[in-house]
C-alpha cells in the first residue's frame, strides 16, 4: 500500500447519526457504514479517473472496492495506534489547518472555502479539515514507525538530485503584501480614496506597520491575512504590480500603482529568481521519495502487525462487500 493512497482515503470519523445505517465493518471502537464506504469509493473512483484511462483504468476500477475497504480499515487501525502513542498531542488542530488553508488558497471567507471544497470534492469544510488532520496523523505515525528507519545516504540523495534537476526547476516568483483602495467615497469618516491614501502614506512615514495599515484600510479580501498573497509566480499578476514588485527589496514599499479602479501599494516580503531549487530546499522531499519504495516491504509488515493487534469484525461478509 502506498502512503498517498492511504492518505487519500482517511476513514470518516464516527458521527452522531439521526438514522440507522448499515454497518459493514467494526474496527476496534469505530464503524464503517455502507454510506461512508460508498463516499470513500466515490473519492477513489474520481482519483482514478483523473490519473488513468483505457485498460489500465478498467483494471484499477475492478480492484477499487477491495482496496478502498482495506484502506478505510487501516486508517482506523493506524489512528488508534497514533492515539496509543500520544501522537495527537503534537498534531496541529483543525483550527490551525483552517488558517493554513486560508493562507494557501488566499481565501479568507469560510463560506467561499466551503463552497469551493464542496464543488471540488463533495465534502463539507469541517469534514475536509478533519480528513486533512487525520491524514497528517497517519503520515506522522508511518514516518516515525517505518520510513525514518529506512536509511538513505546523503550521497544517494545528492545523486538523485543531480540526475533529476529538471524536476526541481522553479520560475521566478515573489511574495508581497497588497493594500488596495477602491476609487470611491466612504472610507474613513467619508474621506475620499485619495485622502485615505494620503493618510496611509503619512502613517508609513511615521513608521506604522504596513501589515497593520492593510488590516485597517485595505478594501481587498486579502486584508484578513495582512495583505499577504503568498508566493506568486511571475506572469500571474497585472504587469504594473509585478513590475513594481520586482524593483523592490525585502520590506520595501512601492510607489502608488494606479489602475482604473484602484490605488495600490505593495510591500515585498521575499523573492526568488528563476533557476533550480537548491539541494537543501528539496532534500527532505528527495529522501522521502527514495525511502518509500525501499520501505514497501517494511510498511506491509508493519500494517499486518497492527491489523493482527486490532479487533476487526466484518458485519457483512467481505466477499459480499467486494462484489457489491
pLDDT, tens digit, for every residue of 59-106? 999 999 999 999 999 999 999 999 999 998 888 888 898 888 887 776
Query: What does the pLDDT read at residue 19?
Result: 57
Nine-digit cell string for 41:
469509493
Query: What does the pLDDT read at residue 239?
Result: 87
Query: What does the pLDDT read at residue 161?
Result: 94
Ranked by mean pLDDT, the top range of 109-123, 225-239, 254-268 is 254-268
CA atoms in the 13 A half-sphere facing the CB of 183: 8
Q: Does domain 172-273 match CATH 3.10.50.40?
A: yes
Measured N-to-C along each axis, helices 34-51 and 54-84 cross at an angle, to the nearest 10 degrees, of 130
Query: What does the pLDDT read at residue 188?
Result: 46
pLDDT surpasses 90 at 316? yes
CATH class of segment(s) 3-150+295-323: mainly alpha
In this prediction the pTM is 0.61
Phi, psi of 229 (to 5 degrees): -95, 0
pLDDT surpasses 50 at 3? no
pLDDT surpasses 50 at 205? yes
Identify the burial level of 299 via C-beta atoms within 10 angstroms of its C-beta, where 0-12 means exposed, 13-18 middle and 19 or more buried.
buried
Q: How many CB atoms lie within 10 A of CB 292?
A: 17
Average pLDDT, the chain: 86
Q: How far is CA 151 from CA 1, 29, 66, 296, 303, in A?
A: 20, 36, 32, 13, 20
Q: Where are the domains of the chain?
A: 3-150+295-323, 172-273
Distance (Å, whole) CA 202 – CA 196: 10
pLDDT surpasses 80 at 28? yes
Percentage of the chain lying above the pLDDT 70 cut: 91
**Which three-class secondary structure state does DSSP give residue 254?**
coil
User: pLDDT category, 16, cuts 50, 70, 90?
Assistant: very low
E strands present in 155-256 = 169-170, 173-182, 228-233
Amino acid at each position: 500500500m502506498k502512503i498517498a493512497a492511504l492518505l487519500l482515503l482517511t476513514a470518516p470519523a464516527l458521527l452522531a447519526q439521526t438514522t440507522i445505517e448499515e454497518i459493514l465493518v467494526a474496527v476496534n471502537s469505530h464503524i464503517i457504514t455502507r454510506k461512508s464506504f460508498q463516499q470513500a469509493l466515490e473519492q477513489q473512483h474520481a482519483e482514478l479517473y483523473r490519473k488513468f484511462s483505457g485498460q489500465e483504468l478498467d483494471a484499477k476500477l475492478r480492484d477499487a472496492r477491495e482496496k478502498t475497504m482495506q484502506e478505510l480499515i487501516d486508517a482506523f487501525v493506524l489512528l488508534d495506534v497514533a492515539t496509543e502513542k500520544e501522537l495527537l498531542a503534537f498534531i496541529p488542530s483543525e483550527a490551525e489547518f483552517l488558517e493554513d488553508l486560508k493562507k494557501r488558497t488566499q481565501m479568507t471567507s469560510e463560506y467561499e472555502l466551503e463552497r469551493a471544497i464542496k464543488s471540488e470534492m463533495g465534502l463539507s469544510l469541517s469534514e475536509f479539515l478533519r480528513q486533512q488532520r487525520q491524514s497528517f496523523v497517519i503520515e506522522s505515525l508511518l514516518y516515525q514507525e517505518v520510513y525514518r528507519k529506512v536509511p538513505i545516504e546523503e550521497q544517494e540523495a545528492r545523486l538523485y538530485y543531480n540526475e533529476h534537476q529538471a524536476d526541481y526547476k522553479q520560475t521566478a516568483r515573489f511574495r508581497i503584501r497588497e493594500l488596495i483602495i477602491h476609487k470611491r467615497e466612504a472610507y474613513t469618516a467619508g474621506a475620499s480614496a485619495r485622502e485615505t491614501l494620503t493618510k496611509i502614506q503619512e502613517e508609513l512615514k511615521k513608521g506604522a506597520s504596513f501589515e497593520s495599515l492593510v488590516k485597517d484600510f485595505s478594501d481587498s479580501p486579502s486584508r484578513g491575512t495582512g495583505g499577504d498573497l503568498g508566493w506568486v509566480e511571475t506572469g500571474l499578476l497585472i504587469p504594473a504590480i509585478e513590475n513594481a514588485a520586482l524593483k523592490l527589496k525585502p520590506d520595501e514599499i512601492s510607489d502608488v500603482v494606479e489602475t482604473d479602479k484602484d490605488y495600490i501599494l505593495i510591500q515585498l516580503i521575499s523573492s526568488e529568481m528563476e533557476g533550480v531549487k537548491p539541494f537543501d530546499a528539496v532534500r527532505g522531499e528527495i529522501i522521502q521519495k527514495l525511502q518509500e519504495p525501499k520501505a514497501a516491504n517494511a510498511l506491509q509488515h508493519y500494517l499486518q502487525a497492527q491489523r493482527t493487534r486490532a479487533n476487526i469484525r466484518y458485519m457483512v461478509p467481505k466477499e459480499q462487500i467486494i462484489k457489491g
